[in-house]
C-alpha cells in the first residue's frame, strides 16, 4: 500500500474463503484439481502480504466438512497438496515469523497427517508475528455442536450451572477460543455466502465479495477489500 493507504484502519482479524480454484482451472481447460495447485501458491503469497500489512490474525478456509462430497480425484489432489504443504511448513513462514495453527476436526485425517499437523504447530508456536489459522475439515455448524457438547458435559460433571452459561462459555468451546472475532470476511470467486465459515464468530464482521478467482487473487485485490472495509460504518447493533 502507498503512504495514503497506510493511514487506513487495518482489521485485526481477517477471514478469507478461498473460492474459485476449480472454476479457474475449468476456464483454462484444465482439470479442476490443477486449480488447487495454483491456489496453494496464491495462499503463500497473500499470507505473506497480509502479514506485512499489519493484520494480527488471518483465518483461511481451505477445506470444509462438506468438501468431501467433491469428486475423489479432486479431494485426493487437495489432500496431496495439504500433505506437501505440511512438509514444507516445517520451515515455511519461518522468516516471516508467522505462527501457524490448524482449526477443524482432525479425526478424518490419517495418523501421518495428524503428526505433521502437530509438528507444524509445534515448530511455529513461539513465533511472535501474525497468527495464521488454516481451516481444514472445518465446518462452523460442526464447531458450534462441539462447543455445545463441551458445555453439556461440564454441566453434567457439575463444573458449571445452566445459569452460568454465557457467550464467553460458548466461545471458549470454539476452535477460535481466545482469538478476537473477525472484523472482515473476504470471499473470492464472486459468491455472496459464508458457506458454513465462522458463523458464530462473524456476527458483526464486514463481508466483502471479490469477483477474482482465488488463483488470480493479488495484493491489489486485498487492498480493495481494505479500502471498502474503511468505508463501512460499523455500529455493532447501535445507532
3-state secondary structure 34-58: HHHHHHHHHHHHHHHHHHHCCCCEE
Q: Which residues are catalytic?
A: 19, 67
Amino acid at each position: 500500500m502507498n503512504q495514503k493507504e497506510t493511514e487506513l484502519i487495518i482489521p485485526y482479524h481477517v477471514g478469507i474463503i478461498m473460492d474459485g480454484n476449480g472454476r479457474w482451472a475449468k476456464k483454462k481447460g484444465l482439470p479442476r484439481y490443477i486449480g488447487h495447485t495454483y491456489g496453494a501458491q496464491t495462499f503463500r503469497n497473500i499470507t505473506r502480504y497480509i502479514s506485512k500489512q499489519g493484520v494480527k490474525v488471518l483465518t483461511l478456509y481451505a477445506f470444509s466438512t462438506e468438501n468431501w462430497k467433491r469428486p475423489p480425484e479432486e479431494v485426493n489432489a487437495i489432500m496431496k497438496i495439504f500433505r506437501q504443504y505440511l512438509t514444507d511448513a516445517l520451515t515455511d513462514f519461518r522468516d516471516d515469523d508467522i505462527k501457524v495453527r490448524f482449526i477443524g476436526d482432525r479425526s478424518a485425517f490419517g495418523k501421518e497427517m495428524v503428526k505433521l499437523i502437530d509438528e507444524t504447530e509445534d515448530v511455529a508456536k513461539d513465533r511472535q508475528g501474525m497468527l495464521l489459522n488454516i481451516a481444514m475439515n472445518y465446518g462452523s455448524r460442526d464447531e458450534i455442536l462441539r462447543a455445545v457438547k463441551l458445555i453439556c458435559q461440564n454441566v453434567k460433571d457439575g463444573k458449571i450451572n445452566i445459569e452460568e452459561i454465557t457467550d464467553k462459555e460458548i466461545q471458549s468451546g470454539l476452535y477460535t477460543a481466545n482469538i478476537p472475532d473477525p472484523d472482515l470476511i473476504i470471499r473470492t470467486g464472486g459468491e455472496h455466502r459464508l458457506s458454513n465459515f465462522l458463523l458464530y464468530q462473524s456476527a458483526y464482521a464486514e463481508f466483502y465479495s471479490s469477483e477474482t478467482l482465488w488463483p488470480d487473487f493479488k495484493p491489489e485485490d486485498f487492498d480493495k477489500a481494505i479500502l471498502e472495509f474503511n468505508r463501512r460504518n460499523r455500529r455493532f447493533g447501535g445507532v
